[in-house]
Amino acid sequence: MSEVIQRDTMLSYITGSVESSAESVAIRAINERGREDLEKTPFPTRKDEDWRFVDLKSITKSQFCKLEEANAADVGDISEHYLPEAMNCRLVFVNGVYNEELSSVEDLPNNVIVGNLAANADNNSVKEHLGTITNYDDDVFAPFNDAAFTDGAFIYVPEETVVRTPIHILNVFTDAEKAFYATPRLLYVGEMFSKSTIIEEHIGLADNQYLNVPVTEFKMFTGSNVHHARIQRDSKNASHVSRPIAILDKNAEYHSYTICLGAKLFRNDPRVIQNAEEVNFTVDGLVLIDGNQIADTHSIMDHRFAHAGSHQLHKVVVNDSAHSVFNGKIFVAKDAQKIDSFQENRNLLLSENGKVNTKPQLEIFADDVLCSHGATIGQLQDEEVFYLQSRGLTEQKSRELLVYAFALESVESMEVESVEKLLLSEVIEYTNRDNK
Amino acid sequence: MSEELSDGVKELESMIGEEYKYGFTTDVEYEDFPKGISEEIVRELSRVKEEPEWMTEFRVKAYHAWKEMEEPTWFNATYKKPDFENMLYYSAPKKKPQLDSMDDVDPNIRETYEKLGIPLEEQKMLSGVAVDAVFDSVSIFTSFKEKLAEAGVIFCSMSEAIKEHPELVKKYMASVVPVRDNFYSALNSAVFSDGSFCYIPKNTKCPMELSTYFRINNMESGQFERTLIVAEEGASVSYLEGCTAPMYDENQLHAAVVELVALDDADIKYSTIQNWYSGDENGKGGIYNFVTKRGICKGKNSHISWTQLETGSAVTLKYPSVILKGDNSVGEFYSVAVTTKKQQADTGTKMIHLGKNTKSTIISKGISAGQSNNSYRGEVKISKNATGSKNYSVCDSMLIGQECGAHTFPYISSENPSSSVEHEATTSRVGEEQIFYLMQRGISEQDAISMIINGFVKDVLKELPLEFAVEANKLLDVKLEGSVG
C-alpha cells in the first residue's frame, strides 16, 4: 500500500482557527458541521480531476486572516453602486458583514422578507432550509463557508407573491492591510408560485488581496420563479470561490446568469438540482478576463426526474495571459425521460499567451431525451473584420465591435435595465482596453 | 410512445442482444507455458521465441517498469480486475506448419477460418488482399509476400522482424508508445507474443491493402499483440485489422499496442473491426480490450487516419490517437461503438496538435442498448506553436432502451489564438417522427429503424476500405438487423 501522505487542508491557509461567534443555535450547528468536514477533507491539488487545470497559487501562497485582524478600511460612500430600480430593496454587506445603515428595505409586498440571516434565525424557513441544500462532495470551500459564516442574506417570498422590484444583494470589499477571508451567504426560499429577481453583486473597491467564498442556496417550491444575476467584480488580486446551488420542485423555473469580470482566481461551481418533474432552468455565464486572471466554471445540471428543459450558454473572452476553464456536466438519471437540455460553450481566444480548457460533458442514463452540447475555441473571423473595415472602421475598432457583439448576447438576458447598462459599460471598457 | 413502437424497440433490443455467432473453439494442441509473470517467465518467453539479447533486455526492463506501475482506474467502467498471476503469457500451436501451400495448414485451423467466413484462398486470388493470419499468438500464414517484396514493402510477423530487420525495430519500437506510457503498454512491452510489422519504403504506394485477422483461441491466454507500421517519405498504406473470438466464461485480457509512424508526405490508414466475445446476458465472461493505439505524423504533410467499428468485448478501453508533429499534418478518427447487454465501452481519441497548420477531424458515433454503458472520451490539444490549426469533432450517441447509458467526456484545450476547435455532441434516441415519416412512405417499422441506424453510422462506415465495408455491414446486420426481420 502507498503511504499516507499528509495533505494540506483549507485551514493551512487560514491564520488562527475558525471559531464560531454566531448567536443562533442553528447557525452554530452548521458551523460545527462545516468544521468537521474541513478537518477531514484535504485541500484540492492538480491531481484531482476537478482541479486539474486550475492554478490555486493565489490561495495556497497566502495566509488569510479574520476580518477583525485585517485592519480593513471604512467603506465610505458606495452609492454609485446602488441600482436605481432597487433603491428600497437592497442589502449591503461590507467585507461579508451586514451593514444595516447602507441597506434599505421598504415597500415590499406583505410577508416578503428581505433581511439578514442572523436577525431571522428563528424563522421557520431558515431553520428548515439553511445549510440543507448545499451538496458538494469532497469539497473544502462550501464547508469553509459553513464553518465560518455568522450572518448572510435571507430572502423569503410567500405563496403567490410577485416581488416586482429587483432585490439587490451588494457585497463590497474594502482595502485592508492584511489579506482576509469573507464568507457571504444567501438563502432564498420561494414558496409556491412566487416570483422575483435577485441581483447578487460582489465588488472590490480597491486592489487588495482577499478570499471571497460565497455560498448561495435557492429553495424553489412548486411553480416558483427566480431570475438570479450574479455579477463578480472583485478586486483583481482577490480569489473568489463560489458555490451557488438551487433545488427545484415541480414547475419551478430558475434562471441564473453569472458575469465574471474581476478576481485573480475565480472558481464557480453552479449546480441546479431537479427535485420533481417538469422544471425549467438556465445556467448562463459570461467571462471576460485578461492579465493573469483565471476563471474556472464547473457546472452541473442535474436532471433527476422526467420532463425538464434546461439551457446553458457559457461565453468566454480571453486576453493577455488569462486562462479560462469550463467543465459543464449535463446529468440525466435513469428514468428521467423527456429531457431537453442544451449546453453551449463559446471561447474567444485573443492572445498568444492565453489559454482555454473546456470539457463539456454528457452523462445520460435515459433514452427518450434530447441532450446536446457544443464547444468552440476560436478567434475573430478575418472575413468579419474585413467586412467592418470595408465599411470604414479601423481594424482596431472592428475587432472591438466584434468582441462587444460576442459578449452582448449574455448581457441582454439581464432583466434589469441599470444592470444591463452597467455591464455594457464594463464590456466596452474591456474591449477598449488597448486604447488607453 | 405507441405500443407498436415499443414492441419494435423490444424486438430491436432482443435482436441486438443476439447470441455471439462466432462462439466455438478449435481443438489444437498447445505448447503450454507456466502461468503467471516474473522476470524468469519473461526471459523464458524471449528464449522460446529465439530472440536476440537486446530484445530480451527490452522485455526485462519493461517488466520492471510495469511492476512499479499501478493499474489505472480513471475510466468509466467497472469490472473484475484481471489476475495477472493466473494468466498464460504465451501460447503457440505445437506443430508449426511449413507453409508451401494452403494444404499445409492445420485442417482444424482452416476449418476455423471457414466458420468465420474468411476465405483465405479466395481473398488471395480474388481481392488481392495479403492476409497475415494470426492464430492465437504465432503467425502461421503469410501470403503475397513475394508481391510485396517486389515493391520493397516489408510485411511480416513481429518475431520475424526482430530477427531480420533489427535496425528498423530498434529505431521505431516504443518510439510512439513509450514502455512507461501506461500500465498496459508496459505489460505488453514485457510479454508481447507476436504481431505484425510493416515497413513501406520511400515513395512507395503499398500495392494492396494489408490485413491481419486476430483470433483468441486458447482459454486463459491473454493476447499481447504488438503492431508497428512505418511509412517512409511519400509512402502510403492501408491496413485492416479484424477480430472475432470464441465464447468463453473466463475473462480474457487483450492488451495490444499499435504504433504508426508517418514521415514526410506519408499516409497511413488503419481500420479495425472488433467483434470479440462480449459476455453473456448477465455480463459474465467476455474479453477485456485494453489497447494502446497511437500514431505520430512525424513528417510534414503526413496523414494518419483511424477508423474503427467496435461491437464486441465486455470492457473496451481504447483511444487511438494521433500526434500531429509535422507541419500541415492531418489526423482523423472515425468510430462506431455499439454496446449491448452489459458491455462497457470507454473509447475515443486524442489529437495532439504540435505542428503548424495541423488539422484533425473526429467523428464518433455511439449506440448503446440493453444495460450497457458507452462513453466517448477524447482530448484535443492545440499547443502554443501549432498556429493555424483546426479541429472539428462530432460525437453523437444513440440510446436504445431505458437501462443503458451514454456519456461524453471531451477534453479540449487551446493555447493559441490563431487556431480553432469545434466540438459538438448530441444524445438522443431513434426519433418517433423519423420512424413515422418513413412508415408513412410505406416502409415497415423495423426497416425504418434499421435505416435510421444505418444513416446514423454512415459517416463512419464509408471511411472503411471496400473489403471491410462488406464485413462491417455483415456485423452490424448481426447486431442490429433483427429489427429488419
Residue B105 located in a structural domain: yes
How close does chain B come to A369, measured CA to CA in Å? 5
What's residue B96's pLDDT? 40
Residue listed under C-alpha cell 435595465: A417
* Cβ of residue B426 closer than 8 Å to a chain A Cβ: yes
Alpha carbons B415 and B426: distance in angstroms, whole number? 26
Whether A376 and B429 lie within 8 Å, measured CB to CB: no
Residue B426's SS3 state is strand
* Cβ of residue B432 closer than 8 Å to a chain A Cβ: no
How close does chain B come to A244, measured CA to CA in Å? 24
Alpha carbons A201 and A229: distance in angstroms, whole number? 8
Residue A389 CA neighbour count, 13 Å, CB half: 10
Q: Which domain holds residue B82?
A: 3-328+431-484
Q: Which residues on chain B are in Cβ contact (under 8 Å) with A357?
A: 411-413
Residue A301 — very low, low, confident or very high, per pLDDT cuts 50/70/90? very high
Residue B396 located in a structural domain: no
Q: Residues of chain A with pLDDT > 70: what percent?
A: 98
Mind listing the pLDDT tens digit for each residue in A180-217? Answer: 999 999 999 999 999 999 999 999 999 999 999 999 99
Q: Which residue of A has its CA nearest to B394?
A: A374
Residue B294 located in a structural domain: yes
Q: Please, which residues have CB within 8 angstroms of residue B323's CB and are 6 or more apart in sequence?
A: B176, B294, B295, B296, B297, B352, B354
Mind listing the pLDDT tens digit for each residue in A36-80? Answer: 888 888 899 888 888 988 888 889 888 999 988 888 888 889 999
Q: Which residue of A has its CA nearest to B75?
A: A49
Whether A359 and B397 lie within 8 Å, measured CB to CB: no
Position with higher pLDDT, A352 vs B485: A352
Q: Which residues on chain A are in Cβ contact (under 8 Å) with B421?
A: 375-378
What is this structure's pTM?
Answer: 0.81
Other CB atoms within a 10 A radius of the CB of residue A291 amount to: 11
- Pairing mode, if any, of strands B252-254 and A279-289? unpaired
What's residue B130's pLDDT? 47
Residue B242 corresponds to which cell in the numbers above? Answer: 479484424
Q: Please, which residues have CB within 8 angstroms of residue B123's CB and are 6 or more apart in sequence?
A: B129, B131, B467
Q: Which residues on chain B are in Cβ contact (under 8 Å) with A53?
A: 413
* Cβ of residue B413 closer than 8 Å to a chain A Cβ: yes
Q: Which residue of A has its CA nearest to B390?
A: A378
What's residue B370's pLDDT? 80
Whether B415 and A354 lie within 8 Å, measured CB to CB: yes
Nearest by CB: B420 against A49, A370, A376: A376
Whether A369 and B429 lie within 8 Å, measured CB to CB: yes
Q: Which residues on chain A are in Cβ contact (under 8 Å) with B407?
A: 361-364
Whether B402 and A375 lie within 8 Å, measured CB to CB: no
B161 close to B49: Cβ distance less than 8 angstroms: no
How close does chain A come to B6, measured CA to CA in Å? 12
* Cβ of residue A46 closer than 8 Å to a chain B Cβ: no
Nearest by CB: A376 against B1, B413, B422: B422
Residue B299 located in a structural domain: yes
Residue B415 located in a structural domain: no
Distances (CA, A) of B124 to A172, B16, B118, B209, B354: 79, 33, 11, 11, 41
Classify residue B10 as exposed, middle or buried by CB count within 10 Å of its CB (0-12, 13-18, 19+).
exposed
Mind listing the pLDDT tens digit for each residue in B118-146? Answer: 555 443 433 334 455 544 444 444 556 66
| 0.90 surpassed by complex ipTM | no
Handedness of CA A48, A53, A54, A57 (dihedral sign): positive
Residue B333 CA neighbour count, 13 Å, CB half: 31
Other CB atoms within a 10 A radius of the CB of residue A164 amount to: 11
Q: Is the pLDDT of residue B409 over 70?
A: yes
Residue B420 located in a structural domain: no
Q: Is the pLDDT of residue B177 over 50?
A: yes
A403: left (phi over 0), alpha (psi -120 to 50) or beta: alpha
Mind listing the pLDDT tens digit for each residue in B162-176? Answer: 888 888 888 898 889
Other CB atoms within a 10 A radius of the CB of residue B424 amount to: 17
Size of interface A-B (CB pairs under 8 A): 119
Whether B425 and A373 lie within 8 Å, measured CB to CB: yes
Residue B212 — very low, low, confident or very high, per pLDDT cuts 50/70/90? low
A80 close to A98: Cβ distance less than 8 angstroms: no
Whether A359 and B402 lie within 8 Å, measured CB to CB: no
* Cβ of residue A362 closer than 8 Å to a chain B Cβ: yes
Q: Which residues on chain B are in Cβ contact (under 8 Å) with A364?
A: 397, 399, 405-407, 427
Q: Is the pLDDT of residue B480 over 70?
A: no
Q: Is the pLDDT of residue B249 over 60?
A: no
* Cβ of residue A104 closer than 8 Å to a chain B Cβ: no
Distances (CA, A) of B179 to A241, B45, B266: 40, 18, 25
What's residue B91's pLDDT? 63
* Cβ of residue A327 closer than 8 Å to a chain B Cβ: no
- What secondary structure, in 3-state letters, does chain A show? CCCCCCCCCHHHHECCCCCCCCCCHHHHHHHHHHHHHHHHCCCCCCCCHHHCCCCCHHHHCCCEECHHHHCECCCCCCHHHCCHHHCCEEEEEECCEEEEEEEEECCCCCCCEEEECHHHCCCHHHHHHCCCCCCCCCCCHHHHHHHHCCCCEEEEECCCCECCCCEEEEEEECCECCCEEECCEEEEEECCCCEEEEEEEEEECCCCCEEECCEEEEEECCCCEEEEEEEEECCCCCEEEEEEEEEECCCCEEEEEEEECCCCEEEECCEEEECCCCEEEEEEEEEEECCCCEEEEEEEEEECCCCEEEEEEEEEEECCCCEEEEEEEEEECCCCCCEEEEEEEEEEECCCCCEEEEEEEEEECCCCEEEEEEEEEECCCHHHHHHHHHCCCCHHHHHHHHHHHHHHHHHCCCCCHHHHHHHHHHHHHHHCHHHC
Mind listing the pLDDT tens digit for each residue in A247-259? Answer: 999 999 999 999 9
Measured between its terminal Cα atoms, the distance across chain A in Å is: 59
Average pLDDT of chain A, as a whole number? 90
Other CB atoms within a 10 A radius of the CB of residue A171 amount to: 23
Q: Which residues on chain A are in Cβ contact (under 8 Å) with B425?
A: 360, 362, 372-374
Whether B410 and A375 lie within 8 Å, measured CB to CB: yes
Nearest by CB: A362 against B384, B402, B407: B407
B 69-88 residues inside an 8 A Cβ radius of A: 74
Whether A360 and B415 lie within 8 Å, measured CB to CB: no
Whether A349 and B414 lie within 8 Å, measured CB to CB: yes
Amino acid identity of residue B170, one-letter, is: K
User: In total, how many domains does chain B have?
Assistant: 1
What's residue B179's pLDDT? 86
* Cβ of residue A358 closer than 8 Å to a chain B Cβ: yes
B400 close to B372: Cβ distance less than 8 angstroms: no
Nearest by CB: A359 against B399, B412, B414: B412
Classify residue A368 as exposed, middle or buried by CB count within 10 Å of its CB (0-12, 13-18, 19+).
middle
Residue B148 located in a structural domain: yes
Residue B439 located in a structural domain: yes
Pick from B345, B372, B346, B347: which is nearest to B362 by CA?
B347
Q: Is the pLDDT of residue A356 over 50?
A: yes
Which of B16, B394, B412, B435 to mutate to probe the A interface, most A CBs <10 Å?
Answer: B412
How close does chain A come to B411, measured CA to CA in Å? 5
B 371-390 residues inside an 8 A Cβ radius of A: 382, 384
Show the CA angle centred on residue B308, arms to residues B302 and B313, nearest 5°: 140
